[in-house]
A and B are shown apart, each in its own frame.
Chain A
């Protein structure tokens, strides 16, 4: 069984720069920097990186100049990168870290796009999705993009590829409003996102997997293939047409949760591509997420870091 590549879309890519200060952040002062790092980032990019780590072919579609260092960095990482016409420079997300662990984030907005840029991006994505196994739409949209951009893409992609979506706020709400024509095969909300589209309480979802399963079930009943709801340090719930399962994470020393959700989503896709049943898909998803949380920054776990046998998957009452 030869599977096509996992195709990822990063609609609003960013350079993730981390600046380590040697003392407390002080407004108006000249500060010494001990270390500065920069990495091509974005949720779609993280999922493509995880695919490369696991030995799977992957294609990343994103708006960028073809000669931008961003594209070269991804190519050097083994990712087949296909840039579409950008609206401007790739934004910078700046993280300032202080010795006591305090972090301050300054996130760039990204260049405003118009309908032409978005259609170029959509066409580039559709062209590559046709030969892929899964298409992943993940992360925020650039300024100027309508909230229903992802919903429109899902409606078009459904004919050529299986589609996974991980987004929040307006784009998530617009997608859930249009499930009758744009139901994805997989939706990966966290508790807050699931609460926002099901009229439930995020705190209750995070503490009670049964309540989470019930909320997720309402989306499956409306056509979503499967809902993988991540509950932060409490694990994840998977609901599909056949049942519902909950898996708490194995004991993990959390170092950085940045990118952990992206790895969780990738673990699910990898298990699905290998034909594994739902409980194993959830086990691998949670194993990936907790392994990522135990590694610094957005470091992607290698297959040797993963221990899905340590994940205890529990079947939930189908009611």
Chain B
């Protein structure tokens, strides 16, 4: 299964706005993508990870391009 380790780029971590943006993007994909084992389309589950800026997380899924697109978002500073 494709997976990718990436560093969280948002200054607030995977919380609030970044979690909402990532979950919306994941919801629009044709396949399920997980971040550290939780469904990336659930902003609430993303926030339970407590992942902070600079933390490394594992993005995984069945489809490589879906994993890549979510991994790119995780690396960006979405709160900027």
Residue of B nearest to A271 (CB): B48
Q: Which one of B34, B37, B50 has the highest number of Cβ atoms from chain A below 10 Å of its Cβ?
A: B50
Interface residues of B in 41-76 (CB under 8 A from A): 41-42, 44-45, 47-50, 52
Q: Is the CB of A54 within 8 A of B44?
A: no
> Closest CB of chain B to A281's CB: distance in Å?
10
Asked whether A309 and B34 contact (CB < 8 A) given A54-B48, A274-B47, A274-B48, the answer is: no
Query: Is the C-beta of B21 less than 8 angstroms from some C-beta in chain A?
Result: no
Interface residues of A in 268-316 (CB under 8 A from B): 270-271, 273-276, 280, 283-284, 302-304, 306-309
Report how many residues on chain A are interfacial, defined by Cβ distance under 8 Å: 20
> Closest CB of chain B to A267's CB: distance in Å?
9
Query: Is the C-beta of A1 less than 8 angstroms from some C-beta in chain B?
Result: yes
What is the CA–CA distance of A302 and B44 in the complex, to the nearest angstrom?
15
Asked whether A307 and B47 contact (CB < 8 A) given A1-B52, A302-B37, the answer is: no
> Closest CB of chain A to B23's CB: distance in Å?
9
Q: Is the CB of B39 within 8 A of A283?
A: no
Q: Which A residues lie within 8 Å of B50 (CB)?
A: 1, 3, 273-274
Query: Is the C-beta of B25 less than 8 angstroms from some C-beta in chain A?
Result: no
Q: Interface size class for chain B?
A: 10 to 19
Q: Is the CB of A303 within 8 A of B44?
A: no
Q: Which A residues lie within 8 Å of B15 (CB)?
A: 274-275
> Closest CB of chain A to B46's CB: distance in Å?
10
Q: Which B residues lie within 8 Å of A270 (CB)?
A: 48
What is the CA–CA distance of A24 and B37 in the complex, to the nearest angstrom?
42
Partner of B37, one of A3, A271, A280, A303: A303
Asked whether A309 and B38 contact (CB < 8 A) given A273-B50, A274-B50, the answer is: no
What is the CA–CA distance of A284 and B36 in the complex, to the nearest angstrom?
17
What is the CA–CA distance of A14 and B50 in the complex, to the nearest angstrom?
33
Q: Is the CB of A306 within 8 A of B47?
A: no
Known A-B contacts: A276-B47, A280-B44, A303-B45. Give 10 more (CB < 8 A): A271-B48, A274-B47, A275-B15, A280-B47, A284-B44, A303-B36, A303-B37, A306-B42, A307-B39, A307-B42
B residues sitting closer than 8 Å to A (CB atoms) are: 15, 34, 36-39, 41-42, 44-45, 47-50, 52
A residues sitting closer than 8 Å to B (CB atoms) are: 1, 3, 54-55, 270-271, 273-276, 280, 283-284, 302-304, 306-309
9 residue pairs, one from A and one from B, having the closest CB atoms: A308-B44, A303-B38, A304-B37, A309-B42, A303-B37, A274-B47, A274-B50, A274-B48, A270-B48
